[in-house]
Amino acid sequence: MKNALKPIQSMIYEIQGLKVMLDRDLAVLYGVEVKRLNEAIKRNIERFPSDFMFQLTQDEWDILRSQFATANKNISKVRFLPYAFTEHGVLMLSNVLNSEKAIKMSIQIIRVFDKLRKYALKLSSRDIRIEEIHKLLMLHIENCDHKFSEHDEAINRIIRTNIFNNSLFHLWRYQQVILHA
């Protein structure tokens, strides 16, 4: 089943911070023309609020198209800005199309969205653990720096004391030499 999900996964894009699929990709998966798919949506527009479906802006479309323009030569023939569907929009779309193929394909698509969500959660938990390790490391470094600082001070005190004691010794020896001379 993992191999069956790969083509679907490659059709999921991140736009406006959301994981979405484009109308033309869904039309291919559902086995309908883009025009027929969009007609079904327009007949049932109340089922597609903005958090289920939105039309790409020209800038979003240009950026997205530049990412796969070399892979698909027919992409430049698009006359209308595509619609993007969130996971909920994909599910609603299968209800609107109401064909056996649409239902089966929607199940596969939802599995891919679920897989992506689990992967994102796994990465997020890894990021949190890395941040905790970073904080512990910084505390350890700070603690070591403090200990090095204390040792450095102690070494300097010993050196100063030895220099002072050494100077006193030389002064005493000098005095002894002068007194006994």
What length is written for the chain? 181
Q: Does residue 109 surpass a pLDDT of 90?
A: no
Domain count, the chain: 1
Q: Is 87 exposed, middle or buried (0-12, 13-18, 19+ CB in 10 A)?
A: buried
pTM for this prediction: 0.56
Residue identified by tokens 């992967």 is 119
Distance CA 156, CA 44 (A): 82
Residue identified by tokens 């006193």 is 168
Whether residue 108 lies inside any domain: the answer is yes
In this structure, which amino acid lies at residue 67? Q
Whether residue 21 lies inside any domain: the answer is yes
Whether residue 34 lies inside any domain: the answer is yes
Predicted local confidence at residue 23, as pLDDT: 92
The predicted-structure confidence for 31-89, as pLDDT tens digits, reads as follows 888 998 999 999 999 989 999 999 999 999 988 888 765 545 455 556 789 999 998 88
Whether residue 131 lies inside any domain: the answer is no
Angle (nearest 5°) at CA 162 between 147 and 174:
170
Better pLDDT: 167 or 67: 67
What's the half-sphere exposure (Cβ side, CA atoms, 13 Å) at 141?
Answer: 6
Task: Please state the rounded mean pLDDT for residues 118-137.
Answer: 73
Question: If pLDDT is split at 50, 70 and 90, which confidence band does 1 have?
Answer: very low
Kind of pairing between the strands at 12-15 and 83-85 = unpaired
Average pLDDT value for the chain: 78
Q: Are 5 and 111 in contact (CB under 8 A)?
A: yes
Whether residue 87 lies inside any domain: the answer is yes
Predicted local confidence at residue 72, as pLDDT: 52
Q: Which residues span the domain enclosing 64?
A: 2-120
Whether residue 16 lies inside any domain: the answer is yes
CATH number for the domain that contains residue 103? 3.10.260
Q: Are 29 and 8 in contact (CB under 8 A)?
A: yes
